[in-house]
Structure 1
C-alpha cells in the first residue's frame, strides 16, 4: 500500500508526481501534495483536499488543475480502463471518476483532457457528468444516480475516445464520444477526485482493470 499526503493545494501548472506501489497497475500519483492515495491490488482510495478542481472555465478564469490524479501511460491504440467508483458527495461539485489526458502534467502541460465523474449537481443529486477540455472546458450533465456509486469506463479505439457508465457493470450507457489533440503522443488514463467547494472528499476505486486490444461498440458500450 502507498499512502501520500502533504499540505494545501498547489496552484502550479506543474504537477508533482510520485509512483504508486502495492497495486496491480503502474499508476503515478499526480499532485500528491493535494491528496492522499492508498493503493493495493485492484483497489485505490483517493482523498482530495478542499479547493481542488480540474476545470478551465469558459468565462476566462484561470485554469484550475489542482485535483489529485492517479494515472498511467497507455500506448495501446485500443484499450478500456474500468473501475467501480464509490464516494460520499458532501458539497456542490464534489466529484470522483475517470480521466484521460494528453500532454505532460509533470512537465507543466495539462494538454487536452476529458473526465467522466460522479458529481454532486446543483440539484444536490449524484450525477454522471462528463467534461472535455480543449483550451476551455465543455461541461455536460448526464443522468442522475440513486446513490453516488457506479461502474465507469474510458475506451479508446484509435483516434476516438468514449466514456461509458453502468449501475451493475453489465449494461453500459454512453456518456460522451470525443477525441483529443495529441493522441499520437503519450496518453494518460486514470482516476481523479476533486472537492472545489467544501471539505475533503474520499473516493474508492475498486475492480480497476485495464484491457487492451479489444474494441467495443462505442455507442451502446457492448
Structure 2
C-alpha cells in the first residue's frame, strides 16, 4: 500500500483557501466562511471548500488520510468529501467525513450525507491532534471509518448515494472562524474494500 504523492493531485477550491506542499505531506488552509452543507430546514446551501482531489477507480476502493486540523473556532475541520457525478460544483449528492471541533470545544468525528439536503450526524469524541479518516466503496454502498492509529478502524456510517462517486476531495473548512489549517499525510487509495465493515479491519 503506497502513499500518494500529494503534489500530483489537482487543487480544488483555490478561491477559498490554499494548499502548501511540504516534506511528508501538505497543509490545506481554508479561509473564513468555508463549508459544505445543504440545511435540511431549507436554509441556503453552501459549497466553498479548498483541497486536493483524487479520481476514483472503477470497482471497490478504499481511501485513507490522516488529518490534523489546527482547531480554533466551532466547526473547524479537516475532511474527506465524496463527490458524485451530480455533486461537483455544489449541487446534487455528496458525503463528508470530518474531524471537527464542536461549539463547546470538543473534537469529534462528524459525517454528513447529502441527497439534495444534508443529513448531519455527530460521531464519537476523538482526543489527540490527528485522526485517520477512511472512505470505502464496496461495489454496492459506501462506508466511513475512523481510526486513531491507522490500524484498527471503527465504522462510523454505512450509506448509499444516488449516482456514482467519481472523486474524493481532501478538504479544510472554517464555517464560523477566520480560517483553519489542516496538515494532511499518509494518504492511500487502494483497490478493494474490507470484507467485514464492522470487525475493525
1:168-207 maps to which residues of 2 (within 5 A)?
168-183=149-164, 187-207=166-186
Deviations 1:78-134 (A, max 9, x none): 11111111112110111112111102666x454311111111113310010011001
Q: What is the TM-score normalised by the length of structure 1?
A: 0.82
1:31 positional shift: 1.3
Equivalent pairs counted in the alignment come to: 198
Aligned to 1:48: 30
User: C-alpha root-mean-square deviation of aligned residues, in Å?
Assistant: 2.1
Show structure 1 runs of 5+ residues with no match: 1-21
Deviations 1:144-163 (A, max 9, x none): 01224111111111121111
Aligned to 1:150: 131
Q: What is the TM-score normalised by the length of structure 2?
A: 0.90
Aligned to 1:14: none
User: C-alpha distance in 2, partners of 1:45/1:105?
Assistant: 25
Matching of residue 128 in structure 1 with residue 128 in structure 2:
no
Q: Is the 8 A contact 2:6 2:26 kept in 1?
A: no
Q: Is the 8 A contact 1:24 1:40 kept in 2?
A: no
Deviations 1:32-70 (A, max 9, x none): 111111236762210000011110111211110012132
Specify which structure has the bigger relative contact order, considering alpha-carbon pairs within 8 angstroms and separated by 6 or more residues.
2
Q: Is the 8 A contact 1:79 1:215 kept in 2?
A: no
Show structure 2 runs of 5+ residues with no match: none
SS of structure 2 residue aligned to 1:38:
strand
Aligned to 1:217: 196
Matching of residue 33 in structure 1 with residue 15 in structure 2:
yes
User: C-alpha distance in 2, partners of 1:113/1:104?
Assistant: 8
Aligned to 1:83: 65
Q: Is the 8 A contact 1:42 1:209 kept in 2?
A: no
1:82-101 maps to which residues of 2 (within 5 A)?
82-101=64-83
SS of structure 2 residue aligned to 1:187:
strand
Q: Is the 8 A contact 1:42 1:208 kept in 2?
A: no
More strand, by proportion: 2
